[in-house]
Amino acid sequence: MNPGERVWDLGYAAGWRLVRALPEGSARRLFDYAADRAARGGGPDQLRRNLARVLSTTPGQVPDDLVHASLRSYARYWCEAFRLPSMDPVRLAERIESSATGLGNIHEAVERGKGAVLALHHSGNWDMAGVWIAQRVGPPVVVAERLRPESLYRRFVRFRERLGFEIIPLTGATRPPFEQLTAHLRRGRIVGLMAERDVTRTGVPVTFFGEPTRMPAGPARLAIDTGAPLLPVNCWFTPGGWGFHVGTPIDTSGGLQPTTQVMTSRFATGIAAHPADWHMLQRVWTADFEVER
């Protein structure tokens, strides 16, 4: 581990301890302050470009208030992530269940015995969705991108394992992730995948908010190959909690591309309803990658 990676890892470790030790109100104010600082000068350019697609406008016409709200929402996600290990998962599950909709789609999938593929995007607090599943259904299986340094990756793995998740690394495992996920689904398990950012840039071509991009093939391919229902999940924040909606199963009979396009369109509907809670500061659309090249 080089010195820079060591500092990064120790910073996260210190942050986890500090934020858990602070009163909730103090921790939130600390993260709000960081978000307010990040919003100065118009906020991150890529966030503004992404929100412009959601609003069907230009980056310059995206309201500063929306960029500010999005950064505060993102800060809230991290504040909650740092504090989650000290929260009561049973009470969290009760709060989530009191406001979530569409949970019957998950229960129905479990009763059928074929498991389910939950496709999520980076909105609200998606970890809370996993907490509910862990408490009410059983440990969800999720894929974790391998971070650097390795010690930081292990911290994130331990964090999610304490929440009741089962972690499969994206790289470095003895068996490919797709093979492992397929086996879990055939045993009736719930698989959760973040699915609106194609880190490989070799995914399925789709249209997202009217522009071409690529989405990961994994959610649709797993559902097609195993017969497990593909359930899109939208997450957002509410003033005093969290909003979740589990959509109805997507028809996979049309094949990989049509299935992925329907999933993408369902994501767009959820993001458009709560644009401030979509925490996407990275490139998503083909045009942005072409500018980079």
As annotated, the active-site residues are 122, 196
The total of other beta-carbon atoms located within 10 Å of residue 259's CB is 22
Contact present, 188 and 108 (Cβ < 8 Å): no
What whole-number distance in Å separates Cα of residue 169 and Cα of residue 149?
14
**What is the CB-side half-sphere exposure of residue 67 using CA atoms within 13 A?**
23
Give Rg (Cα) of the chain.
Answer: 19
Q: How far apart, in Å, are the Cα atoms of 117 and each of 54, 183, 242?
A: 25, 13, 21
Contact present, 56 and 209 (Cβ < 8 Å): yes
Work out the angle at residue 49's Cα, subtended by the Cα atoms of residues 46 and 53, and round it to the nearest 5 degrees.
140
What whole-number distance in Å separates Cα of residue 82 and Cα of residue 128?
13
| 149: helix, strand or coil | coil
| 115: helix, strand or coil | coil
What whole-number distance in Å separates Cα of residue 37 and Cα of residue 22?
21
Contact present, 62 and 48 (Cβ < 8 Å): yes
The total of other beta-carbon atoms located within 10 Å of residue 247's CB is 21
Contact present, 193 and 119 (Cβ < 8 Å): yes
| 16: helix, strand or coil | helix
